[in-house]
Amino acid sequence: MKADGIGARVTRKEDQRFLTGNGQYTDDITLSHQTYAAFVRSPHAHATINDIDTRAAAAMPGVVAIFTGKDIAATGIGGLPCGWLINNKDGTPMKEPPHHILAVDKARYVGDQVAVVIAETIEQARAAAEAVEVDYGVLPAVADTATASKAKASVHDAAADNVCYVWGHGDAAAVDRAIASAHKVSTLDIVNNRLIPNAIEPRAANAAYDKSSDSYTLYVSNQNPHVERLLMCAFVLGIPEHKVRVVAPDVGGGFGSKIFLYAEETVLVWASKRVGRPIKWTADRMESFLSDAHGRDHVTRVQMAMDGNGKFTGMKVTTTANVGAYLSTFASCVPTILYATLLAGQYATPAIYCEVTAVFTNTSPVDAYRGAGRPEATYVVERIVETAARDMGLDPAEIRRRNFITTFPYATPVGLTYDIGDYHACLEKAVKLADYAGFPARQAEAKARGKLRGIGFSSYIEACGLAPSNVAGALGARAGLFEAGEVRVHPTGKVTVFTGSHSHGQGHETTFAQVVADRLGIPIDDVDIQHGDTGKVLFGMGTYGSRSLAVGGTAIVKAVDKVIAKGKKIAAHLLEAADTDIEFKDGVFRVAGTDKNVPFASVALTAYVPHNYPLDKLEPGLNENAFYDPTNFTYPAGTHICEVEIDPDTGKTEIVKFTAVDDFGNIINPMIVEGQVHGGLAQGIGQALLEGCVYDKESGQLLTATYMDYAMPRADDLPNFTVGTHVTPCTHNPLGVKGCGEAGAIGSPPALINAITHAIGVRDIAMPATPERVWRAIQSRA
């Protein structure tokens, strides 16, 4: 293994700038003649906008301009698009009510933007925003997921019953037959709690219009600048795409929440031409709580049918999913395509049916958050599997062993084909690392101290490497899901790589450089990775769904291979040999079986100084790009085991050990992979123990809109994790990689809740399992 190549624990190239304060996040960029924006946001969850009086605000010091929804609508600007069409069971399309970039007639959630104030300083903008007088007619609000479709009020006139769609997936009749003939049917009613992503860098944007070239530059804290540009130009503002450059510089965490095209940056771009000066907006934390797209928020009933041996014969899932007040960019596909297709889990359940009712409510839009649909599916599957084991009197490891899929490729009844995996191997390794055999003794010892111990499993699977474009298209995607990469070899043999993936903590500048350095046989310091700028990168679908290495990395590999192929032709000319006789290894082109060779850097120089060069057959230069569209999803999978100890007097849960064994396929940089797992686990444990987004059901007010009310996982809330891997290389990409960014957040919540319900002997406990809830559950049992 090359010391800085594939598989090496290389420290990160990007760290120097982050550690010395030289990162460049969006809010760090201040342009000349900068102005600042503040948004006027609705304090009501649901209200008509009768009138907006901006006169007093406009007269305040420093105010440059004020725009309302009517001003924008008057220029013919439409609303924000939704990127995925979901059809109802009867084949009719979902309801897609308009999502204006500033509300026009009605505000539909607390925080909905109704006007923007632009001023010389941020203080002046905020003060003037306070002075904008909006005459609201307060309406009854719909804020509860489970009852939204029966509420008297309607969020949108176009969806009087608040239903966006009712979607079905799988074979309902087969599942009904399995349930009717089952030895036992386990049933569980569960809620997947709503979360607020809370990247520590708040969303921010800075938009500038250049009159001389009639073009725009937008700096924005975003995970996919090309998608941002495409959606904004083609579907909202009607600005030609080549007149807009979108830069997503250093981004301080995304977790899904920075995938989407938001109203704020769209308003800024629109207004920048009218104002003629750059406009910057940075969310304050309260705005982040109110206006970042939230995650999860499902209410589900699940039934698992089994035969007498605990073999699963059918599973039925009925879910109500809250999409919030408007359809955010990928809101419609998260609780459907990214959810129901994962309900087979790691098991050979022959029949599965899932029905999802998506409802509008007067709450912030809900969209992808770390895992996006797959954590919700895993929570359903792994909670019911553990419950089924308890109902059958089986060990939770044993019921999994009896039901695991063991032959590949395996076509599930919910539409995916798993290419490879070894679920037994991950389970057995986790069982060993967690010392499952020693659990009864530890439980007894804890009991002697008056404490309750429990242990819980979760054998998750996810579909990553999004996605084969034609498959996604057939399922309703309104975009392609390939990735693009460019490898630019400079005359000196140094390399700049441009990738459509975006790094906002994942360490691509290192991992991707390792891949390229390894393949070209050059030092990692000779390779730089550029990303996040539509002015530099040819195209890109961006980073989400643990896709960057599997899809973005493969595009780079394809481009590298084109560089090598062209290099061979140049080397063949220099070495006076046939192209087919040239082999490339360790940075050297060589005539096979001889010591005639020429190093990579010489070939690069020749490509740019083509004096002795086959100009009749070959273009000069050494710069290649590639687009890669995957042929299948990748399927990371693993087993997580959580052991907890609960103090029955306080209800406080302590995680005494958390073990995660994951199969991510081949691993490029184990240090970075472990870091991704740790971070995912922290978010999953946060969901299960600490974090809960709460709306007042009557008023629709967000009750958890500050760090005083929303419990973020802190250093002393979390344990050290025990992590391990088992490798089955992905079969359909050249690196054999699957993706690791979301597994921790997907696998951990059910392991933790299974452990808590095991410890206290209850069927369910709501997430977050706060000490109060645990204590009450213990009391209810007594």
Partner 1 sequence: MTIHISMKVNGKAVSADVAASTTLVEFIREHLRLTGTHVGCNTAQCGACTVHVDGRAVKSCNMLAAQASGAEVTTIEGLASANGDMHPMQAAFKEHHGLQCGFCTPGMVMSALELKGRFPNATDEQIREALDGNFCRCTGYQNIVKAVKAGLAA
Residue among 596 and 678 whose Cβ is closer to ligand FES? 678
Query: In angstroms, what is the minimal distance from the CB of 196 to ligand FES?
Result: 15
Q: Where are the beta strands (DSSP E) in 211-253?
A: 215-220, 244-247
Q: Does 23 bind partner 1 (CB under 8 A)?
A: yes
Span of 50-58, 95-103, 149-157, 244-252 interacting with partner 1 by CB under 8 A? 244-252
Query: In angstroms, what is the minimal distance from the CB of 504 to ligand FES?
Result: 8
Residue at shortest CB range from ligand FES: 200
Residue among 253 and 587 whose Cβ is closer to ligand FES? 253
Q: Does 254 bind ligand FES (CB under 6 A)?
A: no
Kindly identify the residues of this chain, within the stretch 702-761, that bind partner 1 according to CB under 8 A. 706-708, 712-716, 718, 720-721, 744
Q: What is the DSSP letter of 231?
A: I
Query: In angstroms, what is the minimal distance from the CB of 255 to ligand FES?
Result: 10
169, HSE (Cβ side, Cα atoms, 13 Å): 27
Q: Does 43 bind ligand FES (CB under 6 A)?
A: no
Binding residue (CB under 6 A) for ligand FES from 505, 507, 552, 665: 505
Give which of partner 1, ligand FES, none residue 712 binds (C-beta under 5 to 8 Å, depending on kind).
partner 1
How far is residue 360's CA from residue 141's CA, in Å, rounded to a whole number?
Answer: 11
Residues recorded for the chain: 782
CB 38 within 8 A of CB 238: no
Binding residue (CB under 8 A) for partner 1 from 162, 198, 362, 363: 198
Give me the long-range contacts of 606-613 (CB less than 8 A, separation at least 24). Answer: 606/570, 606/574, 607/489, 607/491, 607/566, 607/567, 607/570, 608/490, 608/491, 609/491, 612/573, 612/574, 613/570, 613/573
Q: What is the DSSP letter of 202?
A: P
Sequence-separated (6 or more) residues with CB below 8 Å from residue 438: none
Q: Which residue has the tokens 């990775």?
A: 529
Query: In angstroms, what is the minimal distance from the CB of 599 to partner 1?
Result: 31
Ramachandran region, residue 268 (left: φ > 0; alpha: ψ -120 to 50; beta: rest): alpha
Pairing of strands 652-663, 721-725: parallel
Cis status of the peptide bond prior to 467, with omega within 30 of 0: yes
**Which residues, listed in sequence order, are joined to residue 203 by a DSSP beta bridge?**
none
Span of 66-74, 200-208, 386-394, 459-467 interacting with partner 1 by CB under 8 A? 200-208
Other C-beta atoms closer than 10 Å to the C-beta of 23 total: 15
Give which of ligand FES, partner 1, none residue 672 binds (C-beta under 5 to 8 Å, depending on kind).
partner 1
**Distances from the Cα of 438 to the Cαs of 166, 643, 732, in angstroms?**
47, 12, 40
Other C-beta atoms closer than 10 Å to the C-beta of 422 total: 17
Six-digit token pair at 445? 């010892």
- Looking at residue 317, its amino acid is V
Q: Of 496, 513, 626, nearest to 565 (Cα)?
A: 626
Q: Does 350 bind ligand FES (CB under 6 A)?
A: no
Query: In angstroms, what is the minimal distance from the CB of 574 to ligand FES?
Result: 47
Residue among 505 and 741 whose Cβ is closer to ligand FES? 505
Looking at 501-553, list the stretches that DSSP marks H as alpha helix, in order from N- to C-terminal side: 508-520
How far is residue 209's CA from residue 268's CA, in Å, rounded to a whole number?
Answer: 10
How far is residue 124's CA from residue 245's CA, in Å, rounded to a whole number?
Answer: 28
Query: In angstroms, what is the minimal distance from the CB of 316 to partner 1?
Result: 35
**Cα angle, residue 535 at apex, residues 532 and 541 outer, rounded to 5°:** 45
Query: In angstroms, what is the minimal distance from the CB of 302 to ligand FES?
Result: 34
Kindly identify the residues of this chain, within the stretch 659-688, that bind partner 1 according to CB under 8 A. 671-672, 674-675, 678-683
Residue among 572 and 642 whose Cβ is closer to partner 1? 642
Binding residue (CB under 8 A) for partner 1 from 251, 338, 392, 564: 251
Q: Does 504 bind partner 1 (CB under 8 A)?
A: yes
Binding residue (CB under 8 A) for partner 1 from 225, 256, 371, 505: 505
Q: Does 280 bind partner 1 (CB under 8 A)?
A: no
x/- site string to partner 1, residues 282 to 321, per CB under 8 A? x-xx------------------------------------
Q: Does 252 bind partner 1 (CB under 8 A)?
A: yes
Helix, strand or coil, per DSSP, at residue 659: strand
How far is residue 385's CA from residue 391's CA, in Å, rounded to a whole number?
Answer: 10
Supply the Cα-derived Rg of the chain in whole angstroms: 27
Q: Does 708 bind ligand FES (CB under 6 A)?
A: no
Q: Does 506 bind partner 1 (CB under 8 A)?
A: yes
Kindly identify the residues of this chain, within the stretch 40-69, that bind partner 1 according to CB under 8 A. none
x/- site string to partner 1, residues 80 to 119, per CB under 8 A? ----------------------------------------
**Which residues, listed in sequence order, are joined to residue 138 by a DSSP beta bridge?**
47
Q: Does 253 bind ligand FES (CB under 6 A)?
A: yes
Three-class SS string for 137-158? Answer: EECCCCCCCCCHHHCCCCCECC
Other C-beta atoms closer than 10 Å to the C-beta of 253 total: 16
Q: Does 200 bind ligand FES (CB under 6 A)?
A: yes
Residue among 649 and 709 whose Cβ is closer to partner 1? 709
- Contacts with partner 1 by CB under 8 A lie at 11-12, 14-25, 27-28, 30, 123, 198-202, 250-253, 255, 282, 284-285, 504-507, 671-672, 674-675, 678-683, 706-708, 712-716, 718, 720-721, 744
- Contacts with ligand FES by CB under 6 A lie at 200, 253, 505
